[in-house]
Structure 1
Amino acid sequence: MSEAAPITRQYAAQALSSAIEEAAGLLEVRYEREDVLRILDLYGGDLPEALIAFRVSTGASRAGELDCRFTVPQDSDPYRLALENGLLETTDHPVSRLLSEVHDTCPVDGYGIDFGVVGGFKKIWVVLPRTALQDVAKLAELPSMPPALGRSLDFFDRHGLGDTVGLLGIDYRNRTVNIYFGEPPAGGIAPESVRAMLREVDQAEPSEQMLRLGRAAFGVYVTLDWDSPAITRICFAVATTDPASLPVELDERIGLFVQHVQRADPHTRFVYAVASQPDGEYYKLQSYYRWGAGVPEIMQLPEGALADPV
């Protein structure tokens, strides 16, 4: 195709499918082309211009998966599409009502979807306008929001995580919600604060690697579910153009993926994150197949965060 020729939706879907297949082969992840193309065709109305990212994670339960996420048309109803096309099953669980409650209560800048090459459709992302970040207390009042959010308001305040939200992730498979704070502490999270936060919500003692990432973090998010009265995970995210420059040792699987991505695009951006668990921690690396001007807004990146590696 010439540079002047517009990229068609079909071409974009085939190209992305091929990129997913190549990455899956590298990571020894089972790849079903028809399953992937079905999701790309269903949600890919804006795929030629969409922001697209891949994610790999550490840990035995996550090693056999490769996730892909991309933005979808703003006028779509991503949850209804998933139900009508058999990607999700109808349920009376509160997770089924949360997206519509957020939409009816808050201004929404856009949506994204997340699927696993093996696990299929997983999440819907709700992007809130950077100029209209939502009060976390307001979101806690939504009838279908996990009660742990309201019970954690004092926790957020005491640890300086901020009182506004810029992004939500609703995981329909695991029935969890990710809350991304819109204004995390400037200069990252001090080690003593990381330890105090994790201890308070019964997470494992952080490793030195986690403490170093907390100090460099541009963003913090928490994971909630409907079965626990407290936060179930806390995650610290670092933005970088070169994961090898981070003050941590990269997991072998993540290092392999970084090399693969950098061979294809030496200038790609990454987000490297560490997530707490009661029995330890695990790491996630997100790379951008297609970056765009909207990424810093979606990620709530401070200006200049990617000017230099952290």
Structure 2
Amino acid sequence: MSVTTEVEELYSVIEESARLLDVACSRDKVWPILTVYGDALAHATPVAFRVATGMRHVGDLDCRFVTHPKDRDPYPAALSNGLTAETDHPVGALLSDIRGRCAIDTHGIDFGVVGGFKKVYSVFTPDDLQELSKLADIPSMPRSLAENFNFFARHGLDERVGAIAIDYPHRTVNVYFNEVPAECFESKTVVPMLREIGLPEPSEQMLKLGQEAFGLYVTLSWDSSKIERFCFGVTTTDLTTLPVRIEPEIEQFVKSVRHGDGDRKFVYGVASSPEGEYYKLESHLKWKPGTVDFI
């Protein structure tokens, strides 16, 4: 299948999904992103759509897919094609600095049909999870990673970084932890963890999801020493098996969004932020066993 056909097919699915969700889909916003990375689409697994509750996320539909080849840095392509603006901020140097110090297995990108190009994901090889101290020493990394090192180390997370996501418009970084110690998902641990980093007391729904979680991530920025968000993710092929009520706007997303052949796959997440909790659902259009899950 040609690159043009792959781009046209994915754009058609995005446009249809956005329309069913009453999200304004602009071809001028989406088409350039798909064409820049179009050669990746034939091989990209996963390809996923995501919606979230909370004011920051309302009215957009996000799409994520892996870029190929894995040794190609996707950020220069975004810059040279006007998908994101040049900047002297450290966010613009971080991906290059990570690539210079760590072995990256794959990259992915994330964009919104309204918000445009947002993130680049750098995924490390599963048998070579990165040390926090190594990442914290990167000059362009937010200092909040180093400043919270003791918190992460006390909970057994210091050598378990599986991926980094860089959000260019919001100038934040997500740090994803794999092979997380089981106690990090237990209520008796989650409550004091969130209290220590100054986030609200978790709801019963968040605590129940934690018991089913496969991993967690935190969000950091260059503007604060605090951990800005703390998120659990749960994978399932059947949302009715989750131990929580699904939000109405997410139920509408599930009914509307296109999915591939065979079993559906979802990643459901809850994030704690200073403004309160919000929920996200990622539905996979294409996936295969063994691919890395995010939310």
**TM-score, normalised by the number of residues in structure 2:** 0.94
2:259 and 2:286 in contact (8 A); partners too: no
Is contact 1:234-1:276 (8 Å) kept?
yes
- Residue by residue over 1:54-81, the C-alpha shift from the partner in whole angstroms, topping out at 9 and shown as x without a partner, is 1100113312010001111123221111
Shift of 1:166: 0.9
CA distances 1:35-54 after superposition (whole Å, capped 9, x unpaired): 21211110121211102111
Alpha carbons of structure 1 residues 187 and 246: separation in structure 2 relative to 1, 3 Å:
farther
CA distance in 1, matches of 2:236, 2:80: 39
Question: Displacement, 1:133?
Answer: 1.2
Among candidates 192, 195, 207, match of residue 211 of structure 1: 207
In the alignment, which of 116, 119, 138 is matched to residue 134 of structure 2?
138
- The residue that corresponds to 1:41 in the other structure is 35
Secondary structure of the structure 2 residue equivalent to 1:41: helix
Quote how far apart the aligned CAs of 1:158 are.
Answer: 2.1
Deviation at 1:189, TM superposition (A): 0.6
Q: In structure 2, do the counterparts of structure 1 residues 266 and 254 end up closer, same or farther at CA, with 3 Å as the change threshold?
A: farther
Is 1:101 the equivalent of 2:97?
A: yes
Equivalent position of 2:280 in the other structure: 284
Amino acid at match of 1:69: R
Structure 2 residue 133 is the aligned partner of structure 1 residue 154: no
Contact 1:87 1:121 in 2 (8 A): yes
Q: In structure 2, list runs of 5 or more residues that go unmatched.
A: none
8 A contact 2:183–2:189 mirrored in 1: no
Q: CA deviation at 1:230?
A: 1.7
User: How far did 1:87 drift?
Assistant: 1.2
Is 1:119 equivalent to 2:105 in the alignment? no
Residue 285 of structure 2 aligns with an amino acid whose one-letter code is: Y
In the alignment, which residue of structure 2 is the partner of 1:3?
none
Q: Distance in 1 between matches of 2:185 and 2:130?
A: 22
What's the C-alpha RMSD, in Å, of the aligned pairs? 1.7
Q: 2:64 aligns with which of 51, 65, 69?
A: 69
Query: Residues 217 and 237 of structure 1 are in contact (CA less than 8 Å); yes or no, is this contact kept in structure 2?
Result: yes
Conserved in 1, the CA contact under 8 Å of 2:143 and 2:222?
A: yes
Mapping of residues 258-269 of structure 1, within 5 Å: 258-261=254-257, 265=261, 267-269=263-265
Aligned mates of 2:173, 2:79 — CA distance in 1: 19
Q: Secondary structure at the match of 1:132?
A: coil
Task: Name the count of aligned residue pairs.
Answer: 292
Question: Unaligned 5+ residue runs, structure 1?
Answer: 1-6, 301-310
Q: 1:170-209 residue pairs with structure 2 within 5 A? A: 170-186=166-182, 189-209=185-205
- Contact 1:108-1:128 within 8 A present in 2 as well: yes
Counterpart code for 2:19: G
> Which residue is 2:125 aligned to?
129
Partner residue of 1:164? 160
* Equivalent in the alignment of 1:50: 44
